[in-house]
Structure 1
């Protein structure tokens, strides 16, 4: 079984388990599950030193992490959220721009962001102290599985390339307890691990493992290059840097 097939098997098993146990709002299959207890997990994350010490955070746009975004806004943290599929030249929303016209809870929604949020590129963002990612499954080593479309890895690569994620950045995920698996999760060079797993009932601190840097051009699909305008510029910068290194 290939790495991709093994990850897909884990995804489908966790989606089926959440559905069977009634632990997700709606059908969890094919998405980051909107798990039961997401608000409790967000509040538990907000109790950690890593949260309290963070001035700038980026949170994924899925419904499971809505309360994380709302709490970040309420705490006056610079709060960024990616545009779906990173499909614009400025591929991040600065959700704080919606305040005070919206409440933090309203500003944390995708509808409000898409309608009225300020769009920013990497050059206008603060270095990120905390990144909160959605997951389908995660193990205690911090290895995770997403939906399988690759956008979280591309986003991570873009942000490390821009210097906005570095070794000081804490990466966390909020999930249901059923999404924490005991088995090994296959990893590829572009896969990132999380430092914190927060469920509605517990905080799991993971050992800091390897942390990939930059974009892995060989992993990018033609449709991703076509959909994400910023990739062209970043890949050009990579080529220029490599050429300068050769000349030196």
Structure 2
């Protein structure tokens, strides 16, 4: 157990490792960015044939305040549930119980980032995929990788530390596929730079922007995804094994992606 804790905590043991993520393009398909961004190349299809509706009725105006209020409410509710789960899973648990030691690792990372002031907003980072100082620099280094340059469609999670990756995807003329936060309104939305103007492209990288400018899609779309970018709380730099924030939605997405 101790060795696992050290391995997964090591990427965040020094501030410099958050800023020095990728120096040499690797030959393997699993890559860790600064201990917080982990992305993996995988091809799959969202395969069905139900899309193609011809309804030309104009959509109602997007209610941004209502969307933000609901998003904040659901986020707070989810963080509260995860905090309760961490207490429930660790109280009286044995040292070799995976549920227990995973929460120990998560808490160690969150506490370290806050105490060393390497965390970035939204704070506190507990029960989140934590944003960190240097996230944009890590995202910029992604541009140097052949796997990103050659990708036409990139799936990126909606968490704050991956905002820079979403921006680089859209400004690079690629398709951005992003999951609906906590799968609350469906599976995915897709955003293309052709849908946007220079004034709206940055907003389109946020949860509000995806809701405003993205196109919700389901299993009736055929899409070839070239690269998947995944946020993490902790990553083992030797194996690529990751821990998320303790919410099961990522597990469902992985199962869905692998099935397709």
Q: Does the 8 A contact of 2:204 with 2:213 survive in 1?
A: no
* Structure 1 residue 55: Cα displacement: 1.1
Instruction: Give 1:84 deviation, angstroms.
Output: 1.2
Q: Quick check: 2:156–2:228 contact (8 Å CA) kept in 1? A: yes
2:10 aligns with none
Bigger relative contact order (CA 8 A; separation at least 6): 2
Structure 2 counterpart of 1:129: 226
Does 2:251 align with 1:153?
Answer: yes
Matched residue, 1:38: 135
Q: Which structure has the bigger radius of gyration? A: 2
Decide whether the 8 Å contact of 2:127 with 2:245 is kept in 1: yes
Per the TM alignment, residue 22 of structure 1 is displaced from its structure 2 partner at its CA by 0.4
1:142 alignment partner in structure 2: 240
Contact 2:196 2:213 in 1 (8 A): no
TM-score (norm 1): 0.62
Normalization by structure 2: what TM-score? 0.59
Unaligned 5+ segments in structure 1 are: 163-248
Query: Retained in 1: the 8 A contact 2:106–2:233?
Result: yes
Quick one: which of 59, 75, 87 aligns to 2:184?
87
Runs of 4+ in 1 over 4 A off after TM superposition: none
Offset of residue 87 of structure 1 = 2.3
- The residue number in structure 2 matching 1:22 is 117
Residue correspondences, number: 161
Provide the residue aligned with 1:73 in structure 2: 170
C-alpha separation in 2, matches of 1:40 and 1:123? 36
| 1:27-46 Cα distance to aligned partner (Å, 9 max, x none) | 11110111111100000112
